[in-house]
């Protein structure tokens, strides 16, 4: 069964075609995730048990190309989840076409063009990674708090104003 685990609540009548976390075939164009050590890996389901994704790190801080692999190879024995997206401007077939159009691309950059950026681009046309944004947001907020003067500091009766800045990379 290609290394896939049994999926069911009680283990009875389990469907062995899908990795842990999935009870049935994901919808075409679904954004999938699976955990890795220290991060979450993302890919696009293109049907027939296949996923298009940026392949994992092939060297220090450098990933491999966009490739199409089996769902079990994408999961590497870990549970797989489907990411809910409210809506996409693209049909499922267009999402699959967008994902496959980048097969062979070898321009992985951890902070600006990773597997999550790829999936969000396929779905929404916007290259974005919440994982990267979350990890960088706190250091930027700390630096801003340390180096941004507040108005009214030291004046009695004057309110102190602090800025809340959302960092988008």
Q: Which of 19, 17, 33 is nearest to 123 (CA)?
A: 33
Contact 123/95 with Cβ under 8 angstroms? yes
pLDDT of residue 106: 92
- In this prediction, residue 162 has a pLDDT band, given cuts at 50, 70 and 90, of very low
> What pTM does this model have?
0.69
Task: Determine the average pLDDT of the residues in 29-56.
Answer: 92
pLDDT of residue 163: 27
So where are the chain's domains?
Answer: 1-128, 130-169
- In this prediction, residue 15 has a pLDDT band, given cuts at 50, 70 and 90, of low
> Taking the domain 1-128, which CATH number applies?
3.90.1720.10
pLDDT surpassing 90 at residue 16:
no
Q: What is the dihedral of CA 88, 89, 95, 99, to 10 degrees?
A: -100
Query: Average pLDDT of the chain?
Result: 75
Beta bridge partners of 6: none
Tally: H helices and E strands in the chain: 4, 7
Exposed/middle/buried for residue 162 (C-beta within 10 Å: 0-12, 13-18, 19+): exposed
pLDDT tens digit sequence for 92-130? 999 999 999 999 999 888 888 889 999 999 999 988 887
- In this prediction, residue 149 has a pLDDT band, given cuts at 50, 70 and 90, of low
pLDDT of residue 38: 81
């Amino acid at each position: 069964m290609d290394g896939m685990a049994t999926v069911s609540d009680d283990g009875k009548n389990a469907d062995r075609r899908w990795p842990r976390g999935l009870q049935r075939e994901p919808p075409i164009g679904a954004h999938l995730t699976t955990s890795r050590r220290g991060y979450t890996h993302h890919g696009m389901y293109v049907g027939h048990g296949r996923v298009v994704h940026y392949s994992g790190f092939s060297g220090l801080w450098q990933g491999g190309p966009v490739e199409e692999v089996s769902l079990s190879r994408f999961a590497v024995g870990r549970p797989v989840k489907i990411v809910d997206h409210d809506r996409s401007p693209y049909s499922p077939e267009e999402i699959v076409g967008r994902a496959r159009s980048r097969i062979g691309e070898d321009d992985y950059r951890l902070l600006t063009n990773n597997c999550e950026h790829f999936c969000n681009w396929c779905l929404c046309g916007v290259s974005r990674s919440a994982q990267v944004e979350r990890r960088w947001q706190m250091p930027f907020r700390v630096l801003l708090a340390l180096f941004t003067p507040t108005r009214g500091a030291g004046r009695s009766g004057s309110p102190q104003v602090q800025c809340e800045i959302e960092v988008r990379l």
